[in-house]
Amino acid sequence: MTDPDRLASLAERLSELREEKLYLESEIEKVSAELSEALEPGFQGELGALDVRVAPGRRTLRITSPDEVPPELCRVQPDRALSKAHLDAGGEAPPGVEANVGRPVVTVRPKG
């Protein structure tokens, strides 16, 4: 599949789909917010022909000052960057490390 017209068409379609995805994700957030404001967390029931469930939000954490976190809440982890550098230098995955190659990423942006 090296036909330039076909490849340009695929790139254009990918760009259109990504734009549509952003729009749809925004709409999903708006509608979800409106439903969650109207219904109580824990609601389960039928609305029209749909079964609807409102799960309570999950707590999330972001470490803002790692040095201030008490030691009993910290643990030492292997350094992924060192393992990656070892693999990039031609080494094999060390014990306890699994190396996977992800899918190629195709980026398409409008010109200009």
Series of mean pLDDT values for 10-residue runs along the chain (112 residues): 89 95 95 89 86 87 89 84 88 86 73 68
| Chain-centre distance for alpha carbon 74 | 25
pLDDT of residue 5: 94
Task: Tell me which H or E stretch contains 50.
Answer: strand 50-53
Residues in Cβ contact with 94 at an 8 Å cutoff, skipping those fewer than 6 apart: 83, 86
> Has this prediction a pTM greater than 0.85?
no
The pLDDT value recorded for residue 60 is 86
Domain residues of the chain, as ranges? 1-36
* Inter-CA distances, 78 with 4, 26, 38, 67, 97, Å: 46, 37, 46, 18, 9
- Angle subtended at Cα 61 by Cα 60 and Cα 63, rounded to the nearest 5 degrees: 160
pLDDT of amino acid 2: 80
